[in-house]
Structure 1
Amino acid sequence: MEPVDKVRARADALADLGLSPCAGSQAIRDAWRQIAFHSHPDHTDGDSSGFSRAKAAYDFLRKEGLVTKGGASSGPPQPRRPRLKKRIIELPLEDIAACKAILNPDQRLPQMHDEADVQDRSDACVSDHVPDAVGCYGRHLTYFVTTPVHHGANRVALPTTVLTNARHTEAEILSFQSKDTGAGEVIIPDTICERKFPGAKSVRIRFDADQDIRDQFWLAG
């Protein structure tokens, strides 16, 4: 159920209990007790329609966390926060191809630490990388690159529209310098993340990412 649908469902459930959208936990309990007593089939010659509708509304509001234990002394109701789900998306071949296409030898690149600077690939040997999967944890993204980081200049092309409904894949090239070779992780600065990755709260890249690295993503809190 989408967030907008949940808000509408909560309002409908409160209306079934004769309450306004801002009703608190104690008001919900009191309304349910009144309706449960007066609309019970024993008091309505066997008609259970009003009782059933009110019970369904009350059960829904309890499930959503709008009915707290302790009544009025418990403070305002706290809607249940949705639990973030982890998922790993295997990038389609067309997304990988789009990333490879922009990694051409003659392209001038912005430095990850300062996009105002540019680096000509001809000045040094540059190692290119393309991810084959991305892990999503809410709005936090982790790109998995199977190739290792190399000492010196590295470039990685990333699809930036993972969290959007864009029809066409958009990709960005990011460059960085490494003092080491092998596995590693690069965290994209917030300033670049905000501009280049719509909807993402954080972005990181895992290099030399084998199945063990992916398993660590699933197990991490």
Structure 2
Amino acid sequence: MEPVDKIKARADALADLGLDQCAGSDDIRDAWRRIAFHAHPDHTGGECANFSRAKMAYDFLRKEGLTAKGPTHSGQRMPRRPRVKKRIIELPQEDIATCKAMLNPDRALPHMPVTGDTQSDTAPCSTSDHVPDAVGCYGRHLTYFVATPVCEGANRVALPTSVLTSARHTETEVLSFQSKDTGAGEVVVPEPIRERKFPGAKSVRIRFEADQDIRDEFGLTG
């Protein structure tokens, strides 16, 4: 296998486990254990496509020596991980259009309790549907930037998950939550929903009424 093909194969294998290119051996083993449990045919009514794909990916990474515990199994030093930099990804118009299409009033939605703070002195807004236009990435920590303010009462937000894996895995998740306030604020996706809807992410946050200053602040903070 040519070096460029091997690099692509590693990237595809990590993507099949819901991981990005910065994932280490502990991350790979944890992702495999999680998928092996939740995607096992005994838990999915016999459906085994996701389990088989993840197993092939893990077996490939194991043969490449990327799953060993400790510095290395050969006693040599592991390559130092590159410093993770924050980056902001502007969502393409097709992803935004897909999110808007997902906000169908007849669609049944999962309920997401608010675990963040929202605050504002403005009056309640007239719409409670939200679509982000950018995503801030810091390793496997995601922050979705939404230009509209959160609304008092029921809210719905459509979130594209393509930033987690390769483009061939692009999906859109629609979440709903209740808020007591109106305006700017931040909502943290609870761990059970994050693990189910955003595999591979360590945290998922949604910033409402996020203007350019909010994005600049994200890029500057360490």
TM surpasses 0.5: yes
Deviation of 1:82 after TM superposition, in Å, equals: 2.4
1:155 maps to which residue? 156
The CA RMSD over aligned residues, in Å, is 2.8
Cα distance between partner residues in 2 of 1:98 and 1:169: 11
In the alignment, is residue 202 of structure 1 matched against residue 203 of structure 2? yes
1:99 maps to which residue? 99
Cα distance between partner residues in 2 of 1:89 and 1:166: 14
In the alignment, is residue 133 of structure 1 matched against residue 134 of structure 2? yes
Matched residue SS, 2:154? strand
**Contact (CA 8 Å) 2:112, 2:177: kept in 1 or not?**
yes
Matched residue SS, 2:194? helix
Alignment-mate amino acid for residue 100 of structure 2: K
1:44-102 CA distance string (max 9 Å, x none): xxxxxxxxxxxxxxxxxxxxxx5xxxxxxxxxxx7534211111000011100110001
Alignment-mate amino acid for residue 106 of structure 2: D
Cα distance between partner residues in 1 of 2:80 and 2:105: 51
1:171 maps to which residue? 172
Percent identity for Structure 1 against Structure 2 = 74
Cα distance between partner residues in 2 of 1:210 and 1:87: 16
Deviation of 1:204 after TM superposition, in Å, equals: 0.3
1:216 maps to which residue? 217
Matched residue SS, 1:154? strand
2:193 maps to which residue? 192
Answer 1 or 2: higher relative contact order, Cα 8 Å, separation at least 6. Answer: 2
1:65-80 equivalence runs, <5 A: 66=77, 80=80
Structure 1: 4+ residue segments shifted above 2 A = 20-24, 78-82, 166-169
Structure-2 change in CA distance of 1:149 and 1:23 (3 Å): closer
Cα distance between partner residues in 1 of 2:127 and 2:177: 10
1:22 maps to which residue? 74
Alignment-mate amino acid for residue 135 of structure 1: G
Matched residue SS, 1:180? coil
Cα distance between partner residues in 2 of 1:167 and 1:80: 29
What is the aligned length? 145
Matched residue SS, 2:168? coil
Deviation of 1:109 after TM superposition, in Å, equals: 1.4
Deviation of 1:21 after TM superposition, in Å, equals: 7.3
Deviation of 1:185 after TM superposition, in Å, equals: 0.2
2:108 maps to which residue? 108
Cα distance between partner residues in 1 of 2:179 and 2:216: 25
TM-score, structure 2 length as denominator?
0.59
